[in-house]
Amino acid sequence: MQELLNNPEASPSRKFNPTKALTDRVNQGRIERAIYQPYRDVLKYYDQIALLTMFQESDTFERRYTARLDKRAADFARKAESVTNLGVSRQ
């Protein structure tokens, strides 16, 4: 799919911005975001189906996924705390 979108004939934004990467072209403006929205919706749909399937078919996936989310939240809190001296708790 990525090769198809990078193809000048298939990608409207590539025609006008041939030197920019796909991520730069997609986030360029309102029209470009609207053009690539169906592509993002399809990716999101299949991502959610894959996630649901892994939850249903694996005995350990839920624990591993929850641990990953907890680690990401802790990393985010640590990063937010390093940016400000006040921390991230209620003041």
Task: For residue 13, give its domain range.
Answer: 2-83
Whether residue 89 is contained in a domain is answered as: no
Whether residue 55 is contained in a domain is answered as: yes
Record the pTM. 0.51
Give first-to-last CA distance, the chain, whole Å: 48
pLDDT digits 0-9 by tens, 41-86: 999 999 999 999 999 999 999 999 999 999 999 999 888 888 776 6
Whether residue 79 is contained in a domain is answered as: yes
The whole-angstrom separation of Cα 14 and Cα 25 is: 8
| CA-based torsion, 62, 73, 75, 52: positive or negative | positive
Whether residue 57 is contained in a domain is answered as: yes
DSSP-H helix ranges across 1-91: 2-6, 12-16, 22-26, 30-57, 61-83
Q: What is the pLDDT of residue 84?
A: 73
Q: What is the mean pLDDT of residues 5-9?
A: 56
Whether residue 36 is contained in a domain is answered as: yes
Task: Determine contact, residues 30/13, Cβ cutoff 8 Å.
Answer: no
pLDDT at 13 over 60: yes
